[in-house]
Amino acid sequence: MMTSWFGLEKVVERIELHKYIGVIGIDLSEWSNGLSSEFRDEGFSWSNWLSLAMGRNDLWFGDEVASHLWLYAEIPGSLGEEESESYLRGLAKRVREAIVAQTGGAIKATSQLPRHRERGIGYAQLKGWQTKPIKDVIYEGMLKASVQMHASLVEQSDWELRYELDRLLTESSIKSVYQPIMRLGDGRVFGYEALTRCPEGSLFDGPLSLFQFAERHKQAFALDRLAREKAIRHCPDLGTMQKIFINVTMSIINDPHFVSGQTVRWLTERGLYPGQVVFELTERSSIDDFEAAKKILAHYRSQGYEIAIDDAGAGYSSLQSIVELSPDYIKVDRSLVRLADKDEMKKHMLRTFVRFAKKMNIRTVAEGIERPEELRLLRSMGFDFGQGYLLGRPSERVVTDVMFGMK
240 — phi, psi (to 5°)?
-65, -25
Is the pLDDT confidence value at 193 over 80? yes
How confident is the model over 288-301, as a mean pLDDT? 86
Q: What is the mean pLDDT of residues 77-94?
A: 90
Pair 60, 176 in one domain:
no
Q: Indicate the length of the chain as a whole number.
A: 407
Pairwise pLDDT comparison (314 vs 211), residue with the higher score: 211
Q: Are residues 270 and 378 in the same domain?
A: yes
Q: Are residues 84 and 139 in the same domain?
A: yes
Domain co-membership, 191 together with 97: no
State the burial class of residue 32 (Cβ atoms within 10 Å of its Cβ: 0-12, 13-18, 19+): exposed
Identify whether residues 283 and 169 lie together within a single domain.
Answer: yes
Residue 34 CA to residue 316 CA, distance in Å, equals 53
pLDDT over 90 at 198, yes or no: yes
pLDDT of residue 232: 96
142-180 confidence digits (pLDDT tens): 999 999 888 877 665 677 788 889 999 999 999 999 999
Q: Which pTM was predicted?
A: 0.64
Which among 139, 125, 117, 144 has a CA at the least distance from the CA of 85?
A: 125
Q: What is the mean pLDDT of residues 324-348?
A: 94
Same domain, 168 and 143: no
**Which of 228, 329, 207 is closest to 270 using CA atoms?**
228
229 and 137 in a common domain: no
**More confidently predicted of 7 and 347:** 347
Is 215 inside a domain boundary? Answer: yes
**Positive or negative CA dihedral for 146, 147, 151, 154?**
positive
- Rounded percentage of the chain residues whose pLDDT exceeds 70: 87
**Residue 194 falls within a domain, yes or no?**
yes
Answer yes or no: is 391 within a domain: no
Query: 86 with 184, same domain?
Result: no
| pLDDT at residue 407, rounded to an integer | 53
| Total count of domains within the chain | 2
Instruction: Return the pLDDT at 169.
Output: 94
Say whether both 125 and 33 belong to one domain: yes
Instruction: Report the pLDDT averaged over residues 235-244.
Output: 93
In this structure, are residues 290 and 325 in contact, taking their beta carbons and an 8 Å threshold?
Answer: yes
394, part of any domain = no
Rg (CA), the chain: 31
Are residue 120 and residue 192 in the same domain, yes or no? no
Among 52-61, 95-104, 396-405, whose mean pLDDT is lowest? 396-405
- Are residue 183 and residue 291 in the same domain, yes or no? yes
397 in a domain, yes or no?
Answer: no
CB 189 within 8 A of CB 400: yes
What's the confidence (pLDDT) of residue 92?
93
Give the structural domain span for 127: 5-154
For the chain, the distance separating the N- and C-terminal CA atoms, rounded to the nearest angstrom, is 78
Contact assessment for residue 251 and residue 285, using Cβ atoms and an 8 Å cutoff:
yes
Confidence of residue 270 (pLDDT cuts 50, 70, 90): very high
d(CA 389, CA 368): 7
Report the CATH number at residue 239.
3.20.20.450
pLDDT computed for residue 262 by the predictor: 80
- Give the pLDDT band of residue 106 (cuts 50, 70, 90): very low
What whole-number distance in Å separates Cα of residue 128 and Cα of residue 20? Answer: 11
pLDDT of residue 102: 77
